Amino acid sequence: MAAFLEVQNLVKSFGTNTVVKGVSFGFSKGEFISLLGPSGCGKTTILRMIAGFEQPSSGSIRVDGQDITGLKPNQRRLGMVFQAYALFPNITVGDNIGFGLKIAGVGAEERRARVDEMLRLIGLPGFEKRYPYEMSGGQQQRVALARAIAPRPRMLLLDEPLSALDAKIRVSLREEIRAIQLDLGITTIFVTHDQEEALSISDRIVVMNSGTIEQLGAPHEIYNTPATRFVATFVGHLNTIEATVVDAQSKTVTIDGQTAVVPALPATAGNGAAVSLTLRPEVLAVGARPGNDITLSGTIADVTFLGSVIRLRVQLGRNVVSLDTFNDQRSAPPSRGETVTISLAGKDMLVL
């Protein structure tokens, strides 16, 4: 089955600076896709090329079988939500939502009915007579979302729409956006630099770095099996442990004088080779845990209370690792300087 959105060998240069370097991907109808990466990685430029606000230096973009590469933005039938809301301040919420419908020649009665439908969808019925300045940032962004989807676009494009909001509103609004997207079944491209946002609401994630795709996959694939060092360090917290191979045949390494068997150790790592091992904080445990076949001894270097979770930093020697443990109201957390034994499963270690 052909992809609903197809991007082929997309390149964008500004003078001698190439910011998107031959990017290709395809997505099915109804998918929620996040373009994730640091500032300057090319994700917003890709979105703007899909929207028609930037023209590719080379490459093509197809939506539902139609080549839209050379079309003007208003010819693409795509909805866009911007970071800064971009609402018209001098007209009401209802007129803002109905603006695209009016431009398209939709009659007043049908336009009013559609505006009422959109206000119910975003949870703001009865707000049609208000002006943007009379609303909170979260409410304004809901209106911007309603305005984008009112004309029934083929696809929805979201350019970091939550970055101007405070943390609590961001969480609730991203959940609302995902619920609306699922309800409408609309293909959505969401640009963000926030890994938690991308992991929590996406069907698939495109991790970008320096104008190229580092990895494309489902959230659990991106997090659990990073394809590159960049993905491993950019998405989620990651421990990196420097070790030395002591017996390549049995895949045994030494970590600050303590031995461990690492199944993922490559055949090219000979005796005496230095290797970098990575693992997530949540795969480590204080004390024994069923299935954990490696134990390491260390000293508590730091304790960070995060509410339901306590993050410990454990000094093994030259290596320091972080691990998360649930807060137990019946007992105090470990103290700095306390000696502890931690455990993990060798299979959870990746070699970079």
For 74-84, how does the pLDDT look when each residue is reduced to its tens digit (9 = 90+)?
A: 999 999 998 88
Of 203, 234, 265, which closes a domain? 234
Q: Does 200 share its domain with 341? A: no
Length of the chain (residues): 352
Residue with tokens 């390549």: 248
This prediction has a pTM of: 0.87
CB-based burial label for 15 (10 Å; 0-12, 13-18, 19+) = exposed
User: Residue 11 corresponds to which tokens in the numbers above?
Assistant: 């390149």
Q: Does 209 share its domain with 252? A: no
Cα-trace Rg, the chain: 25
Task: Show Cβ contacts of residue 329 under 8 Å, excluding neighbours closer than 6 positions.
Answer: none
Query: Above 80 in pLDDT, residue 72?
Result: yes
- Based on the structure, what is the number of domains in the chain? 2
Q: Does 257 share its domain with 119? A: no
Q: Does 165 share its domain with 287? A: no
Q: What are the helix and strand counts (H, E) for the chain?
A: 9, 20
Percent with pLDDT over 90 in the chain = 78
Query: Above 80 in pLDDT, residue 186?
Result: yes
Percent with pLDDT over 70 in the chain = 100
- Interval 306-333: pLDDT, tens: 888 888 999 999 999 999 888 887 877 7
Q: Does 99 share its domain with 211? A: yes
Q: Does 221 share its domain with 275? A: no
β-pair type (187-192, 32-36): parallel
How high is the pLDDT of residue 163?
A: 84
How high is the pLDDT of residue 1?
A: 57
β-pair type (204-209, 212-217): antiparallel
CATH code, domain with 283: 2.40.50.140
Q: Which domain holds residue 192?
A: 5-234
Residue 68 to residue 152: CA distance in whole angstroms = 18
Of 234, 258, 285, which closes a domain? 234
Q: Does 172 share its domain with 61? A: yes
User: Residue 222 corresponds to which tokens in the numbers above?
Assistant: 């991106």
Look up residue 332 and give its DSSP letter.
P
CATH code, domain with 19: 3.40.50.300
Q: Does 183 share its domain with 132? A: yes
Residue 329 to residue 331: CA distance in whole angstroms = 6
User: Residue 330 corresponds to which tokens in the numbers above?
Assistant: 């019946």
Q: Does 285 share its domain with 181? A: no
How high is the pLDDT of residue 132?
A: 94
Q: Does 28 share its domain with 149? A: yes
10 with 62: CB under 8 angstroms? no
Look up residue 257 and give its DSSP letter.
T
Which ranges of the chain would DSSP assign to H, the alpha helix? 43-51, 93-97, 99-103, 108-121, 137-149, 167-184, 195-201, 219-224, 229-234
Q: What is the chain's mean pLDDT, rounded?
A: 93
Query: Above 80 in pLDDT, residue 352?
Result: no
Q: Does 223 share its domain with 250? A: no
Of 234, 262, 296, which closes a domain? 234
Q: Does 150 share its domain with 252? A: no
